[in-house]
């Protein structure tokens, strides 16, 4: 029998995104269930994987369907209710305290920070993605010579209404780069090179290593000044990732430099490097981590992954996030998978005499809310 402790306490979802406000057909819904850019092979479905199982098992009843209904029936019922109703039902069933939302990915396709606050009926705060701001500046018509200062100015402006910054350096250059501050000559050379490559490619996507390095140190200075954490994407992601070079231990030099500056770094997702993230949180005072959306993608195997994250990481360094994007189902399942997996481990620890119910309650409180509330500048 489960032990009675505060597993159901409200959560700060410290890393998440907006949900899709539009009604989704089968193909659109399944596209948001996947990190791939490609559809499934003919005759198969995104429901034919662990995430599909937990959507059908746990989300279906919230839409008045039988558990484990077909994927087709699930999407049909979703369209019958309408996206606004589905989003409200699922978001408000999550037991959230606050949402800290990365607004820098596909902003035109998803609900804004303010709209998310209304849908979830919970306070929502913005986390600014530094690479998205750089790309916005580049599209504005600024020259390569003026770009560095324009980026610094706009990033500082956007930070005024935010509670943190985020980098996706792992996507753009991997972690296996020079992590020292670039010289002014390197910054200018990088900006010129990047602008030329954007013109040749016909799109703006920040991937020049010197410009990315400059952004990391711009972010570091703002985070130091405003007592912001810097969120850092790690591991799991779409096909842009070169996974072997997204092990966070490759980023040790930068993490050490941020420790010296007093900047908290939150390592996001981390799969399959959850053990490495836990080790970094053990050795560096400023490093925090979560296992994010992988608990959804792992479905019934979520306790295994959370168990590995719990192996050695300090409880005061672990955070909760859903990393939900597009689908309110990912918000709902994120908290459910987290609560169920954590309860399973803590029940065993109590049963085997490793901790008391009071200890377990304190562990839950730290990971669920207290750690995030300590490192993010959130209103009381």
Question: What are the structure tokens assigned to 323, written together?
Answer: 């990393």
Question: If you average pLDDT over residues 78-96, what whole number do you get?
Answer: 98
Q: Which domains does the chain have, with CATH numbers?
A: 11-20+94-375 (3.20.20.140), 24-81 (no CATH)
| CA distances (Å), origin 293, targets 51, 156, 305 | 10, 29, 11
DSSP strand pairing (230-234 vs 11-16): unpaired
DSSP strand pairing (162-167 vs 230-234): parallel
Give the model's pLDDT for residue 104. Answer: 87
Give the model's pLDDT for residue 1. Answer: 61
Question: What are the structure tokens assigned to 176, written together?
Answer: 């296996």
Question: If you average pLDDT over residues 190-205, what whole number do you get?
Answer: 96
Question: If you average pLDDT over residues 17-41, what whole number do you get?
Answer: 94
Question: If you average pLDDT over residues 5-12, what whole number do you get?
Answer: 91
Question: If you average pLDDT over residues 92-114, what whole number do you get?
Answer: 93
pLDDT of 309-325, one tens digit each?
A: 999 999 999 999 999 99
Residue 125 CA from chain centroid, whole number = 14
Residue 98 CA from chain centroid, whole number = 14
Mean of per-residue pLDDT scores for the chain: 96
Give the model's pLDDT for residue 239. Answer: 79
Q: Please count the CA atoms within 13 angstroms of the CA of 366 that sit on its side-chain side.
A: 15
């Amino acid at each position: 029998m489960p032990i009675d402790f505060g597993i159901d306490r409200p959560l700060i979802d410290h890393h998440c995104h907006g949900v899709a406000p539009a009604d989704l057909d089968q193909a659109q819904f399944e596209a948001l269930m996947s990190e791939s850019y490609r559809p499934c092979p003919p005759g198969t479905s995104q429901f034919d994987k662990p995430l599909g199982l937990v959507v059908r098992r746990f989300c279906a009843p919230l839409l008045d369907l039988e558990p484990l209904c077909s994927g087709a029936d699930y999407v049909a019922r979703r369209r019958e209710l309408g996206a606004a109703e589905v989003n409200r039902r699922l978001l408000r069933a999550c037991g959230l305290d606050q949402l800290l939302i990365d607004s820098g990915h596909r902003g035109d396709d998803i609900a804004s920070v303010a709209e998310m606050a209304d849908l979830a009926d919970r306070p929502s705060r913005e986390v600014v993605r530094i690479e998205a701001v750089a790309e916005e500046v580049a599209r504005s018509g600024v020259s390569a010579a003026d770009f560095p200062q324009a980026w610094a100015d706009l990033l500082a402006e956007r930070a005024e209404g935010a509670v943190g910054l985020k980098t996706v350096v792992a996507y753009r250059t991997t972690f296996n780069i020079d992590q020292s501050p670039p010289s002014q000559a390197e910054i200018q050379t990088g900006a010129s090179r990047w602008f030329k490559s954007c013109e040749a490619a016909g799109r703006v996507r920040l991937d020049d290593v010197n410009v990315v390095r400059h952004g990391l140190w711009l972010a570091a200075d703002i985070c130091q000044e405003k007592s912001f954490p810097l969120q850092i994407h790690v591991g799991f992601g779409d096909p842009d990732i070169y996974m072997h070079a997204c092990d966070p231990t490759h980023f040790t030099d930068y993490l050490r430099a941020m420790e010296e500056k007093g900047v908290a770094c939150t390592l996001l997702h981390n799969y399959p490097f959850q053990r490495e993230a836990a080790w970094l949180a053990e050795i560096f005072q400023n490093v925090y981590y979560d296992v994010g959306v992988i608990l959804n993608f792992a479905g019934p195997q979520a306790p295994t992954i959370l168990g590995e994250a719990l192996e050695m990481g300090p409880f005061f360094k672990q955070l909760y996030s859903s990393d939900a994007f597009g689908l309110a189902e990912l918000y709902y399942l994120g908290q459910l998978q987290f609560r169920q997996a954590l309860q399973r481990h803590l029940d065993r620890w109590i049963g085997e005499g490793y901790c008391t119910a009071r200890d377990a309650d304190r562990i839950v409180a730290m990971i669920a809310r207290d750690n995030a509330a300590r490192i993010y500048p959130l209103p009381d």
